[in-house]
Amino acid sequence: QAQLVESGGGSVQAGGSLRLSCVVSVDTYETNCMGWFRQAPGKEREGVASLYGGSGSTFYGDSVKGRATISQDRAKKMVYLEMNSLKPEDTGTYYCATFPRAYLRTSPCPTTEYAYISWGQGTQVTVSS
């Protein structure tokens, strides 16, 4: 079972930037999909971006495309989400998640939450106007 710990959340002004980090403690990191999700108050959880631990290939949700970059440090088993041009609607709890890609042979790694089996506790991001 993977363990994930997010960090880097906080409060930021609209138009600003933020970098979130996630430690992914799992033996199968290089054959896992990693995803970033977010959930705004009163809304369903939304997929933000995904990354495959092996090749580093990425995929982005429409709501953040062009404003977000997901990346990794494979040696440290860390995944990052950098977001710029932040908007108040980016406010929410951001979660990191993972699953073995062999469980669901899709390419790229999905941004649908049902695929992911291990989740972090989340980190809060608040964007003020």
Per-residue pLDDT at 46: 96
pLDDT tens-digit readout, 24-57:
999 999 999 999 999 999 999 999 999 999 999 9
Query: Is residue 63 predicted with pLDDT exceeding 90?
Result: no
Per-residue pLDDT at 83: 96
The CA distance from 95 to 7, in Å, is: 10
- Token pair belonging to 123: 């980190």
Per-residue pLDDT at 22: 98
pLDDT tens-digit readout, 88-123:
999 999 999 999 998 887 889 999 999 999 999 999
Per-residue pLDDT at 104: 84
Q: Looking at the DSSP assignment, which residues form a beta bridge with residue 46?
A: 38
Q: CB neighbours of 71 closer than 8 A, spacing ≥ 6? A: 51, 56, 58, 79, 80, 82
Q: What is the mean pLDDT of residues 9-25?
A: 97
